[in-house]
Structure 1
Amino acid sequence: MQNFKVSPIGKISVNNDGMFIELEPRYIPALQALDGFSHINVIWWFSDFDHEEERSTLETPKPYKKAPAVMGIFATRSPVRPNPIALTAVQVIDINCSKGIIQIAYIDANDGTPVLDIKPYTPSLDRVENPGVPEWCGHWPKSLEESERFHWENEFNF
């Protein structure tokens, strides 16, 4: 089996001014032409869950209230997984190309979380017109915008 080397391009910064992606200086030129995209896909590392025990967990007991009694990790968005990689579509508020800072509306990552990559969100490649989901989560919001008003705390068992 082949191993891969992955190096962070920056980190998540959460402070009183908001949420930001702060790039390492050498990656700042990669921001060219990102202006104009309202959303980006952020690939990040669940660094708080990068432990051997979490990496070997393949099943979990009912993490969502209406879910099956046991679920495979690949059917969840849990940070506990064989490779603790996360993907989040985020709204871009501002891009400071000279400082390498992207202000974002929200990301479900902690302050200091390593960012592995950024890709522009493009509806032609990232949006699925009519996605199918299991019945137990069929009542969840159909968009990022609707998710902001959804009471997620009523969905989880943790």
Structure 2
Amino acid sequence: MEPINLYPIGIIHTPHADVKNMPIQPVAAEGVRGWIELFPEYAEGLKDLEGFSHITLLYRFHKIEGYKLTVIPFMDTQERGIFSCKAPKRPNAIGLSTVKLVGIEGNRVHIEQVDMLDGTPLIDIKPFYPRYDNRIEGVKIGWLEKNKDLPLEALRSDERFK
């Protein structure tokens, strides 16, 4: 199969310079703000985005080297397959976060609930629409079932994922 070439459309800026104590999911980053520096040639694509309260970001885990097909997730002590968890050491090291859209100024997009490192390359922005993006009933969550009530404070980074 042919390789897929992806190019950044911007850079995500956050207060997180290191993975230590960084939130692992946006829900654990309430009140934590950052901004996207969209490259000027893509700024026109922001038209009409300001009417949305949330956006989904696709980005590259740019500090991750290599991958592991099995890891011990931060919420567990047992080794699990990489595709059954959200650990960043993935074959393609692509991250996904739905964040709050705070505002747009030119090619700068202000966001909240940032759970990525400063300088993260942005691959794409999509508007969040709950009717399509979050309307699933009868969801099973596999091995995570035992941790479904874990307090948000526990969602901090783990040195194993550097």
TM-score relative to the length of structure 1: 0.79
Bigger RCO of structures 1 and 2 (CA < 8 A, at least 6 apart): 2
C-alpha distance in 1, partners of 2:73/2:45? Answer: 41
Aligned-partner residue type, residue 133 of structure 1? I
Whether the 8 Å CA contact 1:58–1:73 is kept in 2: the answer is yes
Unaligned runs of 5+ in 2: 16-31
C-alpha distance in 2, partners of 1:27/1:85? Answer: 20
Indicate the residue corresponding to 1:117 in structure 2: 124
1:103 aligns with 2:110: yes
Structure possessing the higher radius of gyration over alpha carbons = 1
Indicate the residue corresponding to 2:25 in structure 1: none
1:41 aligns with 2:50: no
C-alpha change, 1:102 and 1:154, in structure 2 (3 Å) is closer
TM-score relative to the length of structure 2: 0.77
1:133 aligns with 2:148: no
Deviation at 1:82, TM superposition (A): 0.3
Deviations 1:90-149 (A, max 9, x none): 0111111x2x111111221111110000000001211034332125445536xxxxx9x7
Indicate the residue corresponding to 1:11 in structure 2: 11
Identical counterparts, % of pairs? 29
Q: What RMSD over aligned residues (CA atoms) do the two structures have, in Å?
A: 2.6
Deviations 1:43-90 (A, max 9, x none): 0000000x2xx23x100135323x6x2100011111100000011000
Give structure 1 regions of 4+ aligned residues with deviation exceeding 4 angstroms.
153-158
Give aligned pairs, total: 143
Residue 87 of structure 1 aligns to a residue whose secondary structure is: strand
C-alpha distance in 2, partners of 1:73/1:126? Answer: 23
Residue 75 of structure 2 aligns to a residue whose secondary structure is: coil
Whether the 8 Å CA contact 1:12–1:115 is kept in 2: the answer is yes
Unaligned runs of 5+ in 1: 142-146
